[in-house]
Structure 1
Amino acid sequence: MSVVAKLEECRAQIRTELDSVVDFWLRHSHDAVHGGFFTCLGREGAVYDELKYVWLQGRQVWMYCRLYRTVDRFRKPEILEAAKSGGAFLRKFARVSSTSGQWKCAFCLTRDGKAVKIQRTIFSECFYIMAMDELSRVTGDKDAQLEAEQMMKQLIHWVRVDSSDLGRPQLPGDVPTNSMAVPMMLLCLVQQLTEGRGQEMALKYRELGSWCVKQILQHIQRDGTAVLENVSLDGAELSGCQGRLQNPGHALEAGWFLMQYSAEWGDEELQRTAINKFVELPFQNGWDKEHGGLFYFLDVDGHCPTQLEWSMKLWWPHCEALIAFLMAYSQTKKPELLESFSQVYKYTFSHFPDESGEWFGYLTQEGKVALDFKGGPFKGFFHVPRCLYMCERILDDLLANKA
């Protein structure tokens, strides 16, 4: 079979799968009484817990809006109305006032919007920003865009100036850490807020984008042989389990963020680094040679990681790998990158999708289903549809330029 034929076959399967996943969440996750979305869904879609997680509410609003805005077949009234309903729920309930008087987003809400838990991190705010900005693009609501930019300003202050308002005082034994998740998410938000908004907006966040890239590149350690999840603020390796931790899925996600950024700014050196160090390297280190699939966590020195789920195969690292390898191939046309994509594709589509709709999220090391729910506190309408959506678009571009 020719490369073009393989890509066409792959695109057809991805398109069918995306339609199925969207249908699953449209049928089972909407709360018609209070607004927002149920995310704790069993194998067949039954709601088993009514708590609403702000990360996942924001992600679902963003995903619906992005599909509605950019894919003709998803420009349906029910998708737009669901996005607007989810956005209204977030704006009404997600933000709670912190001790300093600033807005902080809750991590978890009751079904009718009462705050249950607040985390001392920035990630609820990150997905609130993504949701509001994308919602503003499909509704024309300038207030939503303004809210996104105001929250972004506060987020930058927490990360780069003063994190005390997050409720995380500096303790004497604690070592300040550059966790890769933080600059990754900020870079994602820079790309979200600036996409298609003109030169002025691009320049507004240019310095922040450059800072994020530098922070991410600090995670290349061991003379370029490993990407570590946590390093010191000055880019040195940390001691102990925290310092030795590798998260292949996170590195792969950072890889395609960096590839997008390098394409936007024409930075060929960054593109090479993104592919070599953040895509190929974590894949080589993280792929299970015996059973297939990507390990969740690894210890760079070969010790057993302390995370109990370290050897499991989770849905989202495989989603990130599919995006990363297909994007890398589309930018370079190197056959070995397409071969790696095919390797991940075969494992992913033979293990995670389910005939009842959507994907299982948690497999054993051997690839058996460990948890059979389709949505939970951390798995919602995001990684699977984002992966399928992005892969379909990349394949569209590749196949439109077959030569």
Structure 2
Amino acid sequence: MQPEQLKQQLYNELLSILDYWMKHTVDEINGGFFGKIDNANDVYATAPKGAVLNARILWTFSAAYNAINNEKYLSIATRAFEYLREHFIDKEYGGVCWTVDFEGKALDSKKQVYALAFCIYGLSEYHLVTKNNEALNLALDLYKTIEEHSYDKQYKGYFEAFAKDWLEMDDLRLSAKDANEKKTMNTHLHIIEAYANLYKVYPFEDLKNKIAELLELFDTYFIDHKTWHLRLFFDEQWNEKPNVISYGHDIEAAWLLLQCAEIINDKKWIKIYKQYAVKITDATAEGLDKDGGLWYEYEPLQKALIKEKHWWPQAEALVGFYNAYELTGDDKYLQQAVNTWQFIQQHILDSSHGEWFWGVKEDNSVMQKEDKAGLWKCPYHNSRACLEIIKRV
């Protein structure tokens, strides 16, 4: 398959993803978007609504409007913006609630910095297409809030989570599967992604310096220069707490960190991350199955693969391998991007009910108990993969 053909297929897939979210997820009774939908498209109307889901819908439909200029996309983005502003922004303590109930009342008011980052990401994208100054000001407020409460002035980097009033709390984890540590690669990756998106619409020196510092932190701590996988969990003094290898995060970081360096036009880091992008992509290839799919994780201590193929690592692999093809001109990377897309078409796309399944097990049977839409299952990874390939081709 040639790049133009891949681009056309992913353009069609992007339209399909966006149509799904417009058709099935809008909550006309209580506002915003439903908090949970299963594989049969059954709606759980009283499920909690998450800040991450709302912010990712905001980013997705803003970015889609920027690419395609369909007014329906702008209307969904505006709905997400207004719901975020009215229900997730904590007007008393700053930051955003983690979840609200189905009627929009604060439910879990902890301050997960990951969620603040995604709100910056979505708000800055919305400002890009609308020039809405309220969205920009909210994004800047959240940036200042992260810097005030989460930035480690002694050792650098960002602390993971806080209680509602920004006091310390015991359980810092994003999800039950994570290690309970003060600094994580995942949150830092999405802070730099958010900061770079904010820099695109509102460049200023302090923000540029923060992005460059994050690129340095990735180089120093998160990237393992022996294996070229990413280290995931640390204490506040940057002592690593060894955990799994996450192939999806490896390949996402491979292209995303380079993009952040390019956004701030830092020639030193661009040169470095062009080299790292290929090395990290090659390390990720250890997690590829012969059918083109990317395994979820590897546990080094047990020497065991977690034999599931989730939707989002496949989406990130599309971009990561195509990015390596652009950097090297080596057709093997293009072929792997195509193989990944073919695996997605065969096993991850839900041809009956729309959108992408959460994932498949080792035998390619669908993971039925997971969400089609939910706190974590959002239109961000797959739509962004489509948008990135469209733009790059």
TM-score normalised to structure 2 length: 0.85
Q: Match of 1:279, as an amino acid?
A: T
Give the superposed CA RMSD.
2.6
Cα distance change, pair 312–389 in 1 and its aligned pair in 2 (3 A): same
Q: 1:68 to 1:228 in 2, by over 3 A?
A: same
Which residue does the alignment assign to 2:59? 62
Q: Does 1:132 align with 2:128?
A: no
Match of 2:390 in 1: 392
Is residue 2:348 matched to residue 1:349?
Answer: no
**Larger Rg belongs to:** 1
Check whether the contact 2:322–2:333 (CA below 8 A) recurs between aligned residues. Answer: yes
> What is the SS of the residue equivalent to 2:367?
strand
The CA deviation at 1:13 is 1.4
Cα distance in 1 between the residues matched to 2:331 and 2:204: 34
Q: Report Cα offsets for 1:355-390 as digits up to 9, x if no partner.
A: 131111121122210127521221022211111121
Residue-by-residue CA offset, 1:263-285 (whole Å, 9 max, x unaligned) = 34332222101221x2221232x
* Distance change (3 Å), C-alpha of 1:255 and 1:318: same
Q: Provide the C-alpha distance between the structure 1 equivalents of 2:131 and 2:276, rounded to a whole number of angstroms.
A: 38
2:70 to 65, 76, 94: 76
Q: Secondary structure at the match of 1:227?
A: coil
Tell me what 1:158 maps to.
149
Superposed counterparts of 1:312-391, under 5 Å: 312-355=308-351, 356-371=353-368, 373-391=371-389
User: 1:398 corresponds to which residue?
Assistant: none
Residue in 1 that maps onto 2:244:
245
2:273, 2:130 → 1: CA distance? 35
Distance 1:292 1:208, change over 3 A: same
* Corresponding residue number in structure 2 for 1:280: 282
Query: Which stretches in structure 2 are left out of the alignment for 5+ residues?
Result: 154-158, 172-178
Name the counterpart of 1:191. Answer: 196
**Contact 2:309 2:361 survives alignment (8 Å):** yes
The answer on whether the counterparts of 1:44 and 1:357 sit within 8 Å (CA) in structure 2 is: no
Question: Matched residues in 2 for 1:46 and 1:194: separation?
Answer: 39
Deviation at 1:232, TM superposition (A): 4.8
Q: Is the 8 A contact 1:361 1:374 kept in 2?
A: yes
Give me the TM-score of the superposition, normalised by structure 1.
0.83
Distance 2:373 2:230 in 1: 29
What is the match of residue 156 of structure 2?
A: none
Q: What is the DSSP-based 3-state SS (H/G/I as helix, E as strand, rest coil) of the residue aligned with 2:90?
A: strand
Cα drift, residue 231 of structure 1: 3.9
CA distance in 1, matches of 2:15, 2:205: 37
Q: 1:120 to 1:61 in 2, by over 3 A?
A: closer
Could you report, residue by residue, the CA deviation over 1:171-198 in whole angstroms, capped at 9, with x for unpaired residues?
A: 9xx996531112211110121101154x
Q: Report the 3-state secondary structure (helix = DSSP H, G, I; strand = E; otherwise coil) of the residue aligned with 2:379.
A: coil
Task: For residue 183 of structure 2, give the secondary structure of its aligned residue in structure 1.
Answer: strand
Q: Secondary structure of 1:244's match? A: coil
Alignment gaps of 5+ in structure 1: 396-403
Kindly indicate whether the alpha-carbon contact (under 8 Å) linking 1:35 and 1:86 is maintained by their aligned counterparts in 2: no
Task: Supply the AA of the counterpart residue of 2:205.
Answer: L
Shift in Å, 1:222: 6.7
Distance 1:25 1:275, change over 3 A: same
User: C-alpha offsets along residues 43-97 of structure 1, whole Å, 9 cap, x if unaligned?
Assistant: 353312443111101110111111112x23xx23322222212211111110235
Distance in 1 separating the partners of 2:89 and 2:228: 42
The offset of 1:293, in angstroms, is 2.4
Tell me the secondary structure at the aligned position of residue 294 of structure 1: coil
Identity of aligned residues (%): 21
The 5 A counterparts of 1:162-177 are 166-169=166-169, 177=182
Q: Does 1:105 align with 2:80?
A: no
Q: What is the CA–CA distance in structure 1 between the aligned matches of 2:368 and 2:335, rounded to whole Å?
A: 30
TM-aligned CA distance change 1:85 to 1:280, over 3 Å: same
Write the letter of the residue equivalent to 1:287.
Answer: L
Question: Structure 1 residues 311, 38: CA separation in 2 closer, same or farther (over 3 Å shift)?
Answer: same
SS at match of 1:216: helix
Q: In 2 relative to 1, CA 235–161 (structure 1 residues): closer, same or farther, beyond 3 Å?
A: closer
Residue 109 (structure 2) aligns with: 118
Change (3 A) 1:89 1:226: closer
Matched, 1:294 2:294: yes
* Residues 348 and 123 (structure 1), Cα distance of their counterparts in 2 relative to 1, 3 Å cut: same
Partner-residue secondary structure (3-state), 1:298: strand
Q: Does 1:229 align with 2:232?
A: yes
| Structure 1 residues 234 and 338, CA gap change in structure 2 (3 angstroms) | farther
Whether contact under 8 Å (2:120, 2:195) holds in the other structure is no
Q: Distance in 2 between matches of 1:45 and 1:175?
A: 33
**Preserved CA contact (<8 Å) 2:98 2:111:** no
